Chains A and B, each alone.
Chain A
Amino acid sequence: SQQGEEDPQALSIQEGENATMNCSYKTSINNLQWYRQNSGRGLVHLILIRSNEREKHSGRLRVTLDTSKKSSSLLITASRAADTASYFCATEPLDTDKLIFGTGTRLQVFP
């Protein structure tokens, strides 16, 4: 079964608003990553957070990780229409070399 589940499945906001997406996973991990997928394209890596980290920033992105709750969140601040895409979390379970993807959140940002 999927390692991760994300919510919401879909999110629609106006430009300038913040977007928050959540990811829950099932097993202990080495790291958690967030990826973005534009329609009809491949996935692009956004940010990686290791299991011993709690928060990480990259530009307008802020990621948190709570290993006790097995959950992560991705916050996109001051969203832009160009942020419209699907966002996936991916976990690398302990003692594996594979990335397991969540179910994704489809974000629509209206101008």
Chain B
Amino acid sequence: DTAVSQTPKYLVTQMGNDKSIKCEQNLGHDTMYWYKQDSKKFLKIMFSYNNKELIINETVPNRFSPKSPDKAHLNLHINSLELGDSAVYFCASSDTGAVAFFGQGTRLTVV
């Protein structure tokens, strides 16, 4: 069984559109994250949720809005997509102070 699954795996969309990426974990972890990996492979944390509550928001434009309906899910909604949003987005989960488990990533291409 996949521990952290995110969909879709690939997403190609036009500038200005709104899109969502979904993430689910079946590990029972309290903490979930969204990371962005750019073309240079730098991996930057965007958000962290603990038990459905936002605990970290790392200077991300407010076009990005995470939503956690329950502690097993953390979805990422992006409004008014821009070319610079093209990247691979990774969802991850962990128990505090422990190992993070990553999803396979969503490659977003904005054209």
State the A residues within 8 Å of B (CB). 2, 30-31, 33, 35, 40-45, 48, 86, 88, 90, 92, 96-101, 103-104, 106
Among the stretches B12-20, B43-51, B73-81, the one at the interface with A is: B43-51
- Some 8 contacts from A to B, beta carbons below 8 A apart, are A42-B103, A44-B102, A90-B100, A97-B48, A99-B94, A101-B44, A103-B41, A104-B42
**B61 beta carbon closer than 8 Å to chain A:** no
| Cβ contact of B50, chosen from A43, A44, A97, cutoff 8 A | A97
State the B residues within 8 Å of A (CB). 4, 31, 33, 35, 41-45, 48, 50, 55-56, 90, 92, 94, 96-105
- Contact check, A92 vs B97: say whether CB atoms are below 8 A apart: yes
- Contact check, B99 vs A97: say whether CB atoms are below 8 A apart: no
- Contact check, A104 vs B41: say whether CB atoms are below 8 A apart: yes
In whole Å, how far is A28's beta carbon from the nearest beta carbon of chain B? 14
In whole Å, how far is A2's beta carbon from the nearest beta carbon of chain B? 7
- Contact check, A97 vs B56: say whether CB atoms are below 8 A apart: yes
A104 to B102: give the CA distance in the assembly, Å: 16
Closest to A2 in B: B42
- Residue numbers in A under 8 Å from B56 (CB-CB): 96-98
- Residue numbers in A under 8 Å from B94 (CB-CB): 99
